[in-house]
Amino acid sequence: MTQSEAEKHVVREWQKLPLENRQTEDQAAAFAMKYANILEFPCKGDKYQTLMASIKRFLSQTQGKI
């Protein structure tokens, strides 16, 4: 899996969560940490930070809120 594929996968999985499970930054952080530990992909930086940034980027593009 590439980094781009991992980021897309995490955003898709985030969107599948019930709205009440994706309301806070703590929920997003726990979600990103879970997937950082599960997914295998090359990453120049911290996997958690990469995935968290993907979720935040998605939210900013869709005007969503954590």
Burial class (CB in 10 A: 0-12, 13-18, 19+), 30: exposed
C-alpha span between 66 and 60 (Å, rounded): 10
Its domain, for residue 58, covers 3-62
CA-nearest of 53, 62, 6, 4 to 25 is 53
**How much is the pTM?**
0.87
Chain mean pLDDT for the chain: 92
Q: Which tens digits make up the pLDDT trace of 25-38? A: 899 999 999 999 99
Q: Is the pLDDT assigned to residue 64 strictly greater than 70? A: no
* Average confidence (pLDDT) over 36-60: 94
Q: Which tens digits make up the pLDDT trace of 3-12? A: 999 999 999 9
CA-nearest of 32, 24, 30 to 50 is 32
Of 64 and 22, which is predicted with more confidence? 22
How many domains does the chain contain in total? Answer: 1
